[in-house]
Amino acid sequence: MTTDTKIGIAVIGTGFGKKVHIPAFQDHPKTEVVAVYHRDLEKAKAIASSHNIPHAFNSIDEIVALPDVQGLAISTPPFLHFEMAKKALDAGKHLLLEKPTTLTVQEAKYLYQLAESKNCITSLDFEFRFIPAWQHFAQLLANHYVGEKRLIKIDWLVSSRADETRSWNWYAQKDKGGGVLGAIGSHSFDYIAWLFGSIKRLCSQLNTSNPLRSDPDGGGELKIVDADDICTLILELEDGTPCQVCLSSVTYQGRGHWVEVYGS
């Protein structure tokens, strides 16, 4: 590949993928979106047409067989990550994978080892590390702006699922990777490790505030929600610093996303 050749990307997942991944890869001077995936082929074709993407597929096997595709960006629900990522890596394609990685540690380790064996470049989409304000925050901490850390408090309190009439879907199902801990807690664990260091021990509590939601594909039948919508954590970092984390997707008038660091 010459320096003028763009990297061909296939975008898998057309929710966050259409909103964020496609515009980002189309805007970057070194990448181009050459294929898009949706399980409904007609929807894939419609997205491809509206975004000037040459190929549309409803098969991962067909996408990874396309020579123009050098990398995949996967932003499907978590329960689909492992099989899709495995097919990408088996085909020697580079991979950008949305968090949470997979449903189990064993699956995540398998993908890591497969990527190593195939010499594929992989990354999880922990985007906070690349936001200028967060990078400035990291620099302040590195320069000991607060002195020695004494207490870290993280609140991430939003109302995205506070409405009890919001539909039942994969997010409501624990075995599909739903819940606030996986959705936003995964980000918190990443930036805690990045900014403050590794975690020695923790305790946590998961709660489900809205235990029933209506299934639009089941005629409005109420179905059980077993995924968490509130998560509280108490962490002790490796250096002894206490860290409190409160996550919620059901808090009307929640204060949003705050990271507070108190020091000497």
Q: What is the mean pLDDT of each run of 10 residues along the chain (264 residues)?
A: 78 94 97 97 97 97 97 97 98 97 97 98 95 98 97 98 95 96 96 97 97 92 96 98 98 97 98
How many Cα atoms are found within 13 Å in the side-chain-facing hemisphere of 134? Answer: 17
Cα distances (angstroms) measured from residue 261 to each of 153, 154, 192, 201, 243: 7, 9, 11, 19, 9
- The pLDDT assigned to 68 comes to 95
* CA–CA dist 230, 201 (Å, integer): 20
For the chain, domains (ranges, CATH) are 7-125 (3.40.50.720), 129-263 (3.30.360.10)
Cα distances (angstroms) measured from residue 129 to each of 97, 100, 122, 207: 15, 16, 16, 28
Give the pTM. 0.90
DSSP of 171-189: GG-GGGT-SHIIIIIHHHH
Identify whether the C-beta of residue 64 lies closer than 8 Å to the C-beta of residue 95.
no
- The pLDDT assigned to 218 comes to 85
- The pLDDT assigned to 2 comes to 42
- The pLDDT assigned to 74 comes to 98
- The pLDDT assigned to 43 comes to 96
